[in-house]
Amino acid sequence: MFDVIVVGGGPAGLSAALMLGRCRRRVLVCDDARPRNRFSRALHGFLTRDGTSPLELNTIGRAELEKYGVDWRSVHVETAVREGDLFRVTLAGTHEEHARFLLIATGVVDELPPIDGFRECYGTSIFHCPYCDGWENRDRRLAAFGQGKSGVQLALSLTTWSPHVTLLTNGGRLQSGALERLERNGVALVTSKLVRIEHEEGAMSAVAFEDRVEPIDALFFTTGQHPRCDLAETLGCTFNKKGTVETGTLSDTNVPGVFVAGDASRDAQFVVVAAAEGVKAALAINQALQREDLRS
């Protein structure tokens, strides 16, 4: 029996496991090796780790767990259910483990548009987040791919990094007033449908539309995302409008004993935020264990 089972060994889960290990808790981390940023070559904006490969960061994090005796299993978690005071967690195959607390740090899945060349460029010249990859593409010819308000917001935001920004709506219409706002801020607009991304080994050079080709160096997109797994949902966690789990300041949820940290929870989606949420969850879990175990 474990004190805590951490599902997900990305920055959030690793960070929580590190702190819980240091609290001398019996911790099991289960991870099926599909971190969200595995397509990226370098992560940015994390103090002391700016430019590190995301997979390398996770490898270092995992190595740091060893001296604290944290158990690691490279396995998919299929289900988690509450049984009395414990959680019963089913790992792929038929194996089961039990724990007093559960931390879900399972991240999200990004929905990529089915456009020829998009997936090949993803992480190299196609990105989500200007804070993560805007600097590396400063002053280049940038495209914002998105529809409605979020597409317009992304395009306007990109003007912080480059004066050459084009909004691609892929056939979508603009709300009233949006065109004037784009024009006032020097953002070009293409509403035609995209046919393909022209690239060489992921480095894009142009976007081909039904009626023409536009030279573009990098594209940022805002489409949908969904939770990587349904553990939080089946346990009864409340979700917000963004589709992530509603959490308190210490990564607690509405379900007693269940904590959610990282991209799967409510806050901004950055590696450093995920790591911080993991630590906050660890603090809250350790304090809850102390409350249960210490004599009054």
Q: 10 Å Cβ neighbour count for 290?
A: 10
Check binding of 257 to ligand FAD (CB under 6 A): no
* C-beta of residue 214 within 8 angstroms of C-beta of residue 165: no
Check binding of 220 to ligand FAD (CB under 6 A): no
Separation of alpha carbons 150 and 257, rounded Å: 35
Check binding of 178 to ligand FAD (CB under 6 A): no
Check binding of 45 to ligand FAD (CB under 6 A): yes
Q: To the nearest whole angstrom, how small is the minimum distance from the Cβ of residue 227 to ligand FAD?
A: 9
Check binding of 72 to ligand FAD (CB under 6 A): no
Check binding of 147 to ligand FAD (CB under 6 A): no
Long-range (24+ apart) CB contacts under 8 A made by 57-60 are: 57/11, 57/271, 58/9, 58/10, 58/11, 58/14
Binds ligand FAD (CB under 6 A): choice among 18, 229, 237, 288: 229
Separation of alpha carbons 145 and 224, rounded Å: 12
| 172 SS3 class | coil
DSSP element (H, E) containing 168: strand 165-168
- Span from 36-44, 194-202, 238-246, 279-287 in contact with ligand FAD (CB under 6 A): 36-44
Binds ligand FAD (CB under 6 A): choice among 25, 62, 100, 128: 128
* Contact positions vs ligand FAD (CB under 6 A): 7-13, 30-37, 39-40, 43-46, 76-77, 105-107, 110, 123, 127-128, 132, 228-229, 262-264, 269-272, 274
